[in-house]
Structure 1
């Protein structure tokens, strides 16, 4: 472990969210809430409550095989899949995304997002931070303290908390390579680790298999597999055994559960604020909406059937519930260990393992938000760190069938809600699906679209420890979506 530790605010998967380990008592409320009150930029006119769900397809989704198909191109470019019509005349997407096709009136596409990087960590950095230029101390092997802050970290710092939950959450896991290497771009970086987003680690680290376990687990070379022991386990919002509510009310009884973390707290925030933020964290235990948000594996059968009984479905259900409970930005890392990195066997794995749970869960999310009247105030963004190469290729030493390699030249991003008009296509790629043909967009434009949806003004800035402002917007929001 290096001196820089990005895991401080995350919630260990098997630890109960209890009076001795919640909020500032180990959940990260000490730096997400208490420190914000001490050093955040005062906001007088709070924007209306608006939310974002940023669904990140780590590994990179192939544009040719999803939302920007090239049916008239040579076979090595168009691939094996065929397009189908959507509910929007003239717009076609992959035949293996039928539920999304039926709901195209709710979403729009940007087919011209581009950046110059073909390496995973570089792509993660620019797409998660919204900055095309790499940080001066960028290290693909690990996060560094001078990395650009992630969009989630900025949202957590700049938006107003609406309850005792942090304003920005990432789930169901940190982005970690199968070797255990933590991928840069997810954290607060130069803003300071105390402003990292809150990581809810509901999925165990798994460096062996990929995908939406347990239903759609697979290995890129060997095909469908099931690894025993993988369990999607959300935080348990219960009191420690033997600790009743009357004892919680008597705060002295709680001190023995938090003494080890008190020293760090006293160093991070004024001591006189201790009781205030401890009580804010404890109040999570009595908030039914918070308990309900996390308890996705025990959701009603019909809800789980709609979303899918797998890590993709549970993650998007949790995201919807967290937004409903008052979280401003939820980043959903849909797939462990660069799951979407389909160098080989791409077509059977997309068709049978990746698209079915994604199509089902994303359609259910759109339906739920729309039916609850939340879609207009909730922006959904679906993107990866890059697209895939125009031409398919075969690596016979590793795979039986072809796939596509990394490609930052262009990718398609899906957006819905948050004021986005459905049924639109912004920009286009060239005939090979290699580069933007018109209306190119950059990560800066996507980030600005997210910040605008959160109600942040174009002049918004975060302040460092010396009080110096740092601009948040580095580009204009994507035009033509609203």
Structure 2
């Protein structure tokens, strides 16, 4: 029975440089550097050269204003947007997704992903873990050790790194509610916090600002607050005066001290801490890592194609990380439930949310397609749920109408990784409220990702007492390949 993946991944703060010079001599076990090098040389639990970019739109993308428009429904159902033709005959999308419409030969849509909750935290947990059942002790107010592990945490545990980076990364932030509480479902849960996915925090939290800052930042309730956030990628550098030569001397000394630390290394806490330090050294020496993360210094033409905003920079970083060898990158496009359009749905989608998403996702698909990597890289985009068929007005809070939470159906985009473009899976009723053909579960969604990553149906993770927990809870969404 295979052991756990030996790599554990720390969180990189946007404000914190990795300072090798500040690491004490006894703060790092050099034996882990040897293991890390052996890992990079080719040992893998599940050999695969396949990848996934998992785009998550926190808040709930409206299917009626994106990929499942109902132009023949009554005004209170169809909304203000018009459908436009895509490159695929018979397939229409929102007029505010013109770039994706031109690229419909690269992507397909499933219009019938369904689960049973209309609550944000529970919806996040369901979609980020790919599990419809709610675990015992679930708390919508904070992550719990009894939560199901996230898709990113599972991928990070059962896959081995192909580079000095971990196999699964989440960016540009963890998902936090405007109140400051951290949303459950993003972490390793019952796998243990030492197997939480590696989170790159490049997007500062703002309690009242949403969307793709700086150009597309907005406030759902139009309270007039300012947003001065800056997108900051991790700053990886040696401390002042610590040259690569001096660092090599430090590592040699650590080798000599290694034998004295054998007893300490047998303690799990120390061992995990050592791995973080070893990973830090490896990152500092890898030019590919610097290239992947330093997206705000990319050529202006590249930045313009993706968009000079947090959505564009995040997907550019994801694309570069996959190119570098990361297996799964989860990209949270819009923290603080940016897509939660209870009110002002039409101006905010038209002017703030759909344009930067349309541009950034289109640029990502173009780059992967032109490089030949799209065939081995699955791109998926979903939310925690969709929106209600009927438009509503919360006049006390919002100036204009919107749609409420709706777990019964949502539309998800899929491209690459064996998915053929131009396909539509499933059909909803005439008001876009319920699936009437080919309903799909979150378990099928997760299985689609696991299959694209090359994981066999027999794949499992092991808990701390070596009990196996099988990964697949459903079958991959049919009709896509």
Mapping of residues 85-96 of structure 1, within 5 Å:
85-96=85-96
Contact 1:210 1:219 in 2 (8 A): yes
Contact 2:27 2:277 in 1 (8 A): no
Q: For the structure 1 residues 270 and 291, does the alpha-carbon distance in structure 2 shift closer, same or farther, using more than 3 Å as the test? A: same
Q: Distance in 2 between matches of 1:270 and 1:203?
A: 30
- 1:235-284 residue CA offsets vs partner (Å, 9 max, x unmatched): 012111221111111126998xxxxxx9998742676x988874553122
Q: Distance in 2 between matches of 1:395 and 1:239?
A: 53
Classify the secondary structure of the residue corresponding to 2:84: strand
Is 1:363 the counterpart of 2:362? The answer is yes
Aligned to 2:393: 394
Is 1:9 the counterpart of 2:15? The answer is no
Q: For the structure 1 residues 65 and 246, does the alpha-carbon distance in structure 2 shift closer, same or farther, using more than 3 Å as the test? A: same
Is 1:344 the counterpart of 2:361? The answer is no
Q: Distance in 1 between matches of 2:117 and 2:326?
A: 32
Is 1:188 the counterpart of 2:188? The answer is yes
User: What number of residue pairs does the alignment pair up?
Assistant: 460
Aligned to 1:112: 112
- 1:130-168 residue CA offsets vs partner (Å, 9 max, x unmatched): 000111111000000010000000000111210110000
Contact 1:445 1:477 in 2 (8 A): yes
Q: Distance in 1 between matches of 2:116 and 2:22?
A: 42
Q: Distance in 2 between matches of 1:305 and 1:319?
A: 16
Q: Distance in 2 between matches of 1:386 and 1:378?
A: 24
Aligned to 1:207: 207
Contact 2:19 2:238 in 1 (8 A): yes
Q: For the structure 1 residues 370 and 396, does the alpha-carbon distance in structure 2 shift closer, same or farther, using more than 3 Å as the test? A: same
Mapping of residues 426-465 of structure 1, within 5 Å:
426-465=425-464
Q: Distance in 2 between matches of 1:314 and 1:274?
A: 30
C-alpha deviation, 1:433, in angstroms: 0.7
C-alpha deviation, 1:111, in angstroms: 0.3
C-alpha deviation, 1:223, in angstroms: 7.5
Aligned to 1:326: 325
Q: For the structure 1 residues 76 and 373, does the alpha-carbon distance in structure 2 shift closer, same or farther, using more than 3 Å as the test? A: same
Q: Distance in 1 between matches of 2:243 and 2:92?
A: 57
Q: For the structure 1 residues 172 and 26, does the alpha-carbon distance in structure 2 shift closer, same or farther, using more than 3 Å as the test? A: farther
Classify the secondary structure of the residue corresponding to 1:231: coil
C-alpha deviation, 1:121, in angstroms: 0.3
Q: For the structure 1 residues 438 and 55, does the alpha-carbon distance in structure 2 shift closer, same or farther, using more than 3 Å as the test? A: same
Q: Distance in 2 between matches of 1:362 and 1:225?
A: 28
- 1:371-425 residue CA offsets vs partner (Å, 9 max, x unmatched): 1111001000000000000000001111111000000000000000001000000
Runs of at least 4 residues off by over 4 Å: 223-226, 252-255, 262-266, 273-280
Aligned to 1:124: 124
Q: Distance in 2 between matches of 1:458 and 1:449?
A: 11
Q: Distance in 1 between matches of 2:455 and 2:226?
A: 44
Aligned to 1:78: 78
Q: Distance in 1 between matches of 2:170 and 2:383?
A: 15
Q: Distance in 1 between matches of 2:107 and 2:273?
A: 45
Contact 1:216 1:224 in 2 (8 A): no
- 1:218-248 residue CA offsets vs partner (Å, 9 max, x unmatched): 00111786412x1100001211122111111
Q: Distance in 1 between matches of 2:194 and 2:22?
A: 17
Aligned to 2:246: 247
Contact 1:209 1:219 in 2 (8 A): yes
Q: Distance in 2 between matches of 1:424 and 1:267?
A: 52
Contact 1:9 1:26 in 2 (8 A): no
Q: For the structure 1 residues 235 and 301, does the alpha-carbon distance in structure 2 shift closer, same or farther, using more than 3 Å as the test? A: same
Q: Distance in 2 between matches of 1:276 and 1:344?
A: 47
Q: Distance in 1 between matches of 2:184 and 2:275?
A: 33
Is 1:380 the counterpart of 2:385? The answer is no
Classify the secondary structure of the residue corresponding to 2:105: helix
Classify the secondary structure of the residue corresponding to 2:14: coil
Contact 1:151 1:447 in 2 (8 A): yes
Q: Distance in 1 between matches of 2:174 and 2:270?
A: 30
Q: For the structure 1 residues 415 and 243, does the alpha-carbon distance in structure 2 shift closer, same or farther, using more than 3 Å as the test? A: same
Q: Distance in 1 between matches of 2:21 and 2:430?
A: 58
RMSD: 2.9
Is 1:317 the counterpart of 2:324? The answer is no
5+ residue gaps, structure 2:
1-8, 255-261
Q: Distance in 2 between matches of 1:161 and 1:277?
A: 14
